[in-house]
Amino acid sequence: MPEISRRGFLKGAVALGTLPLVANATQKEATTESLKFIHITDSHMDLSDSDSVDALKLAVAYINKNHPDLDFVLFGGDNFNNNIAGDKDAIVYKKICDNLKMPYYTVRGNKESSPKGDDEINLAAFQKMFVEDRGLTISGKDWLLEKKGYNILGLDSCNEHQNNGRYTEETLAFAEKTLKNGKPTLILNHHPYTNYWGGSEEKDIHKYVLNNTKEIQKRLFGYKNLLLTLSGHKHIDSVTKIDNVTVIVTRGFIRPQDLDMYPMRYVELSGNTANQKLIYTA
């Protein structure tokens, strides 16, 4: 079999990752302004692993150089491993991300919600550092960003001190209330909605799939203005459909294809049409 160069491999990976979606024509039309962003999930920055710190710095430098026109960057949880007493790792993570030339918005993953000890960052500290004072509408654990005619919902799917996840009644009610305004809507959260990797172990499925996904799908996915969802947690890339909703799980940033090739997902929305592709830092 002929050897594939890194450049050739990268082009193939990007091409395979591109899939347009078109929202139902009956929903409310969005503004004609385009919305551009990058989704990064599961970076697992760890102060005991200098490579993970350098990788995050690389991502920030790459985005600033190659995508300076982004509206924002979305971080999908397990952003840092939260295994250092106090908030030292959270401070380093924030300092690196603050170098982005565009705003960034963050939800928690199980690493942020299930610290190994009692002294690491908790929900209140996370919200103070990454949610408050960012122009967001905050409701309990969740937030809403309204930008260019779109709703971007940041929903916290975490159970405290557990790896598995679910949406609380408060989260579901907040999402429903937001969807009722008719604007095209994106949902950012950590835990995926389906067993998309085809796992057979119940313990594994319980850990990775939202535990009340059937209720979530029944209550949220019937809204015609829900365009797409963005999740992580399993580290395996996937783009599928639930009803008319494009359901994206972005490959874990911690899983590079090769040296310096850390994965992220680029998304561009225009009206009710979106294009997305998996990109890499090199």
Domains and CATH numbers, the chain: 6-280 (3.60.21.10)
Q: Residue 111 pairs with which residues in a beta bridge?
A: none
How high is the pLDDT of residue 7?
39
Neighbour-count burial of 64, counting CB atoms closer than 10 A to its CB (0-12 exposed, 13-18 middle, 19+ buried): middle
Helix (H, G, I), strand (E, B), or coil: what is residue 175?
helix
- On the CB side of 240, CA atoms within 13 Å amount to 13
DSSP category for residue 146: E
Cα dihedral value 185, 204, 127, 223, nearest 10: 20
Q: Does the pLDDT value for residue 14 go beyond 60?
A: no
The predicted model scores a pTM of 0.89
Task: Confirm if 112 and 131 have CB atoms less than 8 A apart.
Answer: no
Q: Between the ranges 14-18, 31-35, 141-145, where is the mean pLDDT highest?
A: 141-145
The two tokens of residue 79 are 């952003």
DSSP category for residue 75: E
Q: Which residue has the higher pLDDT, 163 or 4?
A: 163
The two tokens of residue 234 are 């399993």
What is the rounded average pLDDT for all residues in the chain?
A: 89
Q: Residue 68 pairs with which residues in a beta bridge?
A: none
Least trusted range by pLDDT, from 14-28, 179-193, 195-209: 14-28
Helix (H, G, I), strand (E, B), or coil: what is residue 172?
helix
Token look-up 């002294």 returns: 119
Helix (H, G, I), strand (E, B), or coil: what is residue 230?
strand
Q: Does the pLDDT value for residue 1 go beyond 60?
A: no
pLDDT for 244-281, tens place per residue? 999 999 999 999 999 899 999 999 998 778 899 999 99
Least trusted range by pLDDT, from 184-188, 190-194, 257-261: 257-261
Q: What are phi and psi of 193, to 5 degrees?
A: -90, -20
Which pLDDT band, with edges at 50, 70 and 90, does 117 fall under? Answer: low
